[in-house]
Amino acid sequence: MINAIPPHRVSRKLIRLAATSIAAGVSLFAASSAFAEDDTPLSAVGVERGLELYDYDAADRCILGYHQVRLTVNNVYREGILKLELFGENDFMKSSGKLRRIRVPADDGPMKVCIHVPGPGEYAVVGYHDIDGDRRLDKKWNFKPKEPFGLSNNPVIESLRLPRWEETRFTVPHDGVEIEINLVDPD
Ligand SMILES: [Ca+2]
């Protein structure tokens, strides 16, 4: 019985083991994110890449099982800024209805971005690739977007109109949800 471990040591060892496994599981999703696991302040990344970025616009850490939207953004590449906004039904697409705003350096897609939501419920995400990094969605002469944009549920918007809540909303359960947004090049 030389190798016997006292009961209290066993339980501590098990707790440590469990903690390590949980941490490994969490980082499994986050590891594929270009920046979610990177603790470098967003403002410092901005300086490095010549982009105007602020720490308060950072994305959230990806945590499986947490009430958050775990986004995969497609058709994006390493230039400029990726901007995403989270809305609820109230004042959808209006600045007063904006629940969160994320501005992160754009990277070669698919990009993983996580956004915490206030609680389980219905939400919508709208976003665009601010290629020139001027923090605005560039528009054409006819007010159509000039930079790639995307919406949750990826509805096709052919005419010149704002997206509707009904076509972009999705449900976030208590343990979060994975969604994909395909940025589309404007015609
Ligand atoms: Ca722009």
Residue 12 has pLDDT above 80, yes or no: no
CA of 158 to the centre of ligand 1 (A): 21
The answer to whether residue 136 is domain-embedded is: yes
pLDDT of residue 120: 97
Cα of 63 vs centre of ligand 1, distance in Å, is: 30
Residue 26 lies in a domain: no
**Percent of the chain predicted with pLDDT > 90:** 72
Over residues 52-71, mean pLDDT: 96
Q: Is residue 21 part of a domain?
A: no
The parent domain of residue 169 ranges over 32-182
Q: How many CA atoms within 13 Å lie on the side-chain side of 132?
A: 7
* Residue 143 pLDDT: 84
CA of 73 from ligand 1 middle (Å) equals: 18
Determine the distance separating the centroid of ligand 1 and the alpha carbon of 136, expressed in angstroms.
4
CA of 72 to the centre of ligand 1 (A): 21
Strand partners, 101: 85
Residue 172 pLDDT greater than 60, yes or no: yes
Residues in the chain: 187
Q: What is the mean pLDDT of residues 165-181?
A: 98
Residue 2: inside a domain: no
Per the confidence metrics, is the pTM higher than 0.85?
no
67 alpha carbon – ligand 1 mean position (Å): 31
